[in-house]
Amino acid sequence: MGAFQRFARPVILAAGRQEGLRRTAERLPATRAVVHRFVPGESVADVMNSVDQLRDSRRLVSTDYLGEDVTDADAANATVEAYLHLLEALSARDEAPAAVRPLEVSLKLSALGQALPRDGEKIALENARAICERAQRAGVWVTVDAEDHTTTDSTLSIVRELRADFDWVGTVLQAYLKRSRADCAEFAASGARIRLCKGAYDEPASVAFRDRHDVTASYLECLRILMAGSGYPMVASHDPEIIDAVPAMVRENGRSADDFEYQMLYGIRDAEQRRLADEDSHVRVYVPFGTQWYGYFVRRLAERPANLTFFLRALAERRR
- Catalytic positions are 145, 195
Q: List the one residue out of 184, 209, 180 whose CA is nearest residue 194.
A: 184
Q: What is the DSSP letter of 179?
A: T
Assign residue 141 a region (left: φ > 0; alpha: ψ between -120 and 50; beta: otherwise). Answer: beta
Torsion of CA 202, 204, 209, 210, to 10 degrees: 60
Query: What does the CA dihedral 73, 48, 294, 64 come to, rounded to 10 degrees?
Result: 50
Report the distance separating Cα 79 and Cα 58, nearest Å: 29
Q: How far apart are CA 4 and CA 252, in angstroms?
A: 37
% helix / strand / coil in the chain, to the nearest 5? Answer: 55, 15, 30
**Residues whose CB is less than 8 angstroms from the CB of residue 197 and which lie 6 or more positions away in sequence, other chains included:** 146, 172, 173, 174, 175, 236, 237
Would you say 162 and 193 are in contact if contact means Cβ atoms under 8 Å apart? no
Phi and psi at residue 262, to the nearest 5°? -90, 150
